Structure 1
């Protein structure tokens, strides 16, 4: 089975930063191809979602979307159309000014959300609002918005997340 993980980076991040490399390694270990689109020239989160939706995913039987901050918003918006197997969201930029969508229809068999108590970009309350509305488990860490201090734990969570699809 051809499987793909698409990592969607944040607003001021790059496609192949430190987090991306960690998640790419995990994805490859589980037999997934890995893509990280470059959104650096596109500041509009909804246009980024359009860019993601323009990707040709026809050759893949299983897609998992992972996103950080604005990339988590992009992943969630795009999931309504892509309908991935999994949605793995880090510090999702929900309910912020300039983000068009405030009502979501996240479509994935499994959705995981991770956020930092010390996040001063996206308030934890915003993420709790999303998780409560869509009945998604919220995993909180004592870290900031970038979550780099817990990247090892997040990579382990992602590995368990992908392994769960192999078991089913």
Structure 2
């Protein structure tokens, strides 16, 4: 059984090993985490994608992190409580739209939201709202929806995020945002 696992969820129009996921998976592996990136390209229905992730039921012996971009951010957030994820890392998450209703509560011990100021697909206000409502760390960068120009920000941010998650659970209460 895997000890520490990151499960990535890609966006509606991308694939399981796009640029961001590949870069962040490399960071996770170098930090001793196993990674999984299911292929959701068979459906553009967010509910179907959530069901697919829940059916996979990843249950590592150690911490589980869900990381998602755009629609994958919604999928990760929607499955977070059911899968008892210790961490949620969202990039330009598709939230608060018709068909994208989150089950409550969505309160992992650690949550980070990254969004681009120039995102014309999912307005930055969506990321800000989720971060505010869930007391999540919020990082807003001068980038578009893909966050492709922000990989140099995402890599160390994700590495720090995983380091925090890997701490014993009692340390998370004092880890800050």
When normalised by structure 1's length, the TM-score is 0.93
CA distance in 2, matches of 1:38, 1:103: 23
Aligned length: 167
Name the residue aligned to 1:91: 92
Distance 1:2 1:18, change over 3 A: same
Instruction: Name the counterpart of 1:163.
Output: 163
CA 1:56–1:135: 2 relative to 1, 3 Å:
closer
Deviation at 1:11? 0.4
1:147 maps to which residue? Answer: 147
- Counterpart contact for 1:84–1:107, Cα < 8 Å: no
Q: Which runs of no fewer than 5 residues in structure 1 stay unpaired? A: none
The equivalences for 1:96-107 within 5 A come to 96-99=97-100, 101=101, 104-107=104-107
Q: Aligned residue for 1:20?
A: 21
Partners of 2:57 and 2:49 in 1: CA distance: 15
Structure 2: runs of 5+ lacking an equivalent:
169-177
Q: Could you tell me how far apart the structure 2 residues matched to 1:123 and 1:23 are?
A: 23
- Counterparts of 2:55 and 2:167, CA distance in 1: 30
Cα shift at 1:126: 1.8
Aligned-partner Cα distance in 1 for 2:8–2:167: 23
Does the CA contact (< 8 Å) of 2:78 and 2:102 recur in 1?
A: no
What SS does the corresponding residue of 2:12 show, helix, strand or coil?
coil
What is the TM-score of this pair, normalised by structure 2?
Answer: 0.88
Correspondence list, 1:66-85, <5 A: 66-85=67-86
- Please list every run of at least 4 consecutive aligned residues from structure 1 whose deviation after the TM superposition is greater than 4 angstroms: none
Partner of 2:115: 115
Using the alignment, how far apart are the partners of 1:139 and 1:60 within structure 2? Answer: 30
**Aligned-pair RMSD on alpha carbons?**
1.5
More off after superposition, 121-130 vs 20-29: 121-130
What is the CA-CA distance between 1:135 and the residue it aligns to?
A: 1.8
